Amino acid sequence: MPSDWALAQAVAWLGESRSKRLSGRREVDSLADRFDSARAHAYAHIAELEARVFDAERSRDDAIGRCVAAQAARDEMHDARFAEARQVDALKAKLAQLMEASREAVYLAEDELRRLNGEGGSPIRIPDGSGGYLGLKKQGLQRFLAALATVKPK
């Protein structure tokens, strides 16, 4: 039979072992609570980061859309400038044709004036386009042609 002292030691050991088990259980429960808290915090942080990523992607897509719109506007502006340049070139060519035609008309009128030079002060009849005639004397026609040669088309 065990002695009282051995029995007391066994009871103390059992009590101590139980106390250690309870303490270990509390420590495990505490660690599990801290783990659950850390996991909840991590999930909240992950959700916040996902929201930031979503906002950043939306901002990036908006910026890309603005860039595309700006490029389209720039392309449209360049197209308009090129169209205006072509139009200006066409108008310059037309103006050159008109100036050449007016010079030719002045040269023909001067030739006619030289041909008529010997006729003195008799009026020269130039059609006015409405079925009538401009009746100019030789000096008036010379002044008219000189003025016509200085006129620049608009």
User: DSSP of 60-102, one letter per residue?
Assistant: HHHHHHHHHHHHHHHHHHHHHHHHHHHHHHHHHHHHHHHHHHH
The average pLDDT across 90-98 equals 89
pLDDT of residue 144: 67
Asked if 91 contacts 105 with a C-beta cutoff of 8 angstroms, the reply is: no
Stretch 73-100: mean pLDDT: 91
pLDDT digits (tens, 9 = 90+) for 96-118: 888 888 878 877 777 777 666 54
- pLDDT for residue 122: 54
| Dihedral over Cα of 149, 125, 143, 116: its sign | positive
Q: What is the pLDDT of residue 30?
A: 82
Residue 119 scores a pLDDT above 60:
no
Cβ–Cβ < 8 Å for 138, 121: yes
